Amino acid sequence: MKTKNLFLAAPWMILILMSIASCKDSSVEYRTYTANVPKYMSYEDMRKPAKSVAANAIQVSGKIYIKDNYLFINEKYKGIHVFDNTNPSSPVNLTFIDIPGNVDMAVRGNYLYADNYVDLVVLDISNITSPIEVARIKDIFPYTIPDAPEMYPIASIDQQQGVIVGWQVQEVTEEVSSSQGYPYYYYDKGSGNFLFNEASPAVGGAITTQTVGVGGSMARFIINGDQFYGLNQNNMQVVNISQPFRPIAGTKIEMQRNVETVFIDSTYLFVGTQTGMLIYDVSTPAAPVFKSLYDHFQSCDPVVVKDKLAYVTLRAGNRCGNWQNLMEVIDLHNIMTPTLLKSYPMTEPYGLGIDNKTLFVCDGSAGLKIYDATDPLQIDQHMLKQYTDLNAYDVIPFGSILIMIAQDGLYQYNYSDLQNIVQLSKIPIGGK
């Protein structure tokens, strides 16, 4: 009887089990797609002290910075090339500082401040060819994702495995809830959060003193007195560097916008974002105070300031959004109410710089444009020179020497005679 009852019950049991399995599987899907799969470097390897290696050729252009007679050129995610620029007509390639994940830098005295993926490192560069790491603040910057080929989505990311150093295209099969979207861009398994892509070539201005170097208009790092400011994603981190061997993380200012560039003029800090320019009072350097903002349509936004006028380039396309390419001149005489004076059409504007009334604009594929900006309402009527045979990215006007980085090289010009601007040298990039 027992055997018979078990036999009779079997069909019902099978139906019940099938029902349970069906309920369980109804909310789960397996999806296969081609994706950019991250390649990781462990945090232990990432945090090995930065070191100097033999000088080598620059393969990809990045941020630029000058301090005394030294020229620093970043190779994105790799490190920093250092040149002796005592003679701008013949710069000498001295060394390469190997710093994985490096994008930005700033120098004060004999100390170089650089990002090492999520960490801030401090290097003693008293002996420029043999730098010594003297301090590190771990995890001060958000976890970011380097550029990936756009034709494929990014597979799930696991921060616990380390920092991302590259990508490999593979087929990925994942078990996911049917309620989740597809594909998973910038998704971190560990935290369950969606991450941000590293703000592609982004770079900016700098304060000029006897002890602090000068950066281009696209920089995200800048130094003001004993304070270091570092932009990343949507915040600004303040660090006390009064004792270089013991940097202390200070205030982190949440800006609720995608921040890109930073520039200091007098006691004001100007932050370029994808949707506007933010202005902070830094008369107390350790405690920046928000003063005002100037909104614009979504675009990439470097800014420089001179004589209560801000010059801003707005670039369309790619991650920047927008469809217009402009240079705007903004009146800052009333710092609480920045006012647009005039907009000028551009082709593909990136960085810019100003020296007295001479304005230098890197207009991407349209090259380098040099203007007399004495009359801010008629700048386009006073072009002094245009170099059209290069793809210009950023500039530093310093004294009578213009340092300009382009896709194919770093150029230096003597502009002491604006009617006879002379190219002094070119450091090739990518073998060009």
> How is the chain split into domains, by residue range?
45-142+199-428
* pLDDT value at residue 7: 37
Q: How many angstroms separate the CA atoms of 140 and 222, rounded? A: 16
Judged by phi (left if over 0) then psi (alpha if -120 to 50, else beta), residue 137 lies in beta
Q: How many angstroms separate the CA atoms of 111 and 98, rounded? A: 16
Question: What sign does the CA torsion over 362, 368, 374, 379 have?
Answer: negative
Those residues with Cβ within 8 angstroms of residue 209's Cβ, 6 or more apart along the chain or in another chain: none
How many helices and strands in the chain, by DSSP H and E?
Answer: 2, 32
Q: How many angstroms separate the CA atoms of 220 and 254, rounded? A: 15
Q: How many angstroms separate the CA atoms of 81 and 147, rounded? A: 21
CB 81 within 8 A of CB 55: yes
Q: Residue 52: what residue type?
A: S
Q: Residue 199's closest CA among 147, 153, 158?
A: 147
431 SS3 class: coil
CB 106 within 8 A of CB 221: yes
pLDDT tens, N- to C-terminus, the chain (432 residues): 444 343 344 444 433 344 444 444 556 678 788 899 999 999 999 999 999 999 999 998 899 999 999 999 999 999 999 999 999 999 999 999 999 999 999 999 999 999 999 999 999 999 999 999 999 999 999 998 888 877 788 888 999 999 999 999 999 887 766 555 544 444 444 444 444 444 333 333 333 333 688 998 899 999 999 999 999 888 999 999 999 999 999 999 998 788 889 999 989 999 988 888 999 999 999 999 999 999 865 556 789 999 999 999 988 765 555 568 899 999 999 999 999 999 999 999 999 999 999 999 999 999 999 999 999 999 999 999 999 999 999 999 998 999 999 999 999 999 999 999 999 999 999 876
H helix or E strand, kind and range, residue 13:
helix 2-25
Q: How many angstroms separate the CA atoms of 388 and 303, rounded? A: 23
Q: How many angstroms separate the CA atoms of 18 and 29, rounded? A: 17
**211, two tokens:** 């002890």
* pLDDT value at residue 315: 85
Total residue length of the chain:
432
The 3-state DSSP composition of the chain as helix, strand, coil percent (nearest 5) reads 10, 50, 40
Q: How many CA atoms lie within 13 A of 158 on its CB side?
A: 7
CATH top-level class for 45-142+199-428?
A: mainly beta
* pLDDT value at residue 184: 42
* pLDDT value at residue 43: 97
Q: How many angstroms separate the CA atoms of 412 and 30, rounded? A: 56
CB burial class (10 A; 0-12, 13-18, 19+) of residue 424? middle
Phi, psi of 105 (to 5 degrees): -160, 160
CB 28 within 8 A of CB 179: no
CB 150 within 8 A of CB 137: no
Phi, psi of 266 (to 5 degrees): 60, -120
Q: How many angstroms separate the CA atoms of 296 and 311, rounded? A: 13
Q: How many angstroms separate the CA atoms of 68 and 57, rounded? A: 22
* pLDDT value at residue 27: 60
The stretches of 32-136 forming alpha helices (DSSP H) are: 43-46
Q: Residue 154's closest CA among 202, 179, 187?
A: 187
Q: Residue 307's closest CA among 210, 373, 394, 369?
A: 373
93 SS3 class: strand
DSSP annotation of 234 reads T
Determine how β-strand 259-265 pairs with β-strand 119-124. Answer: unpaired
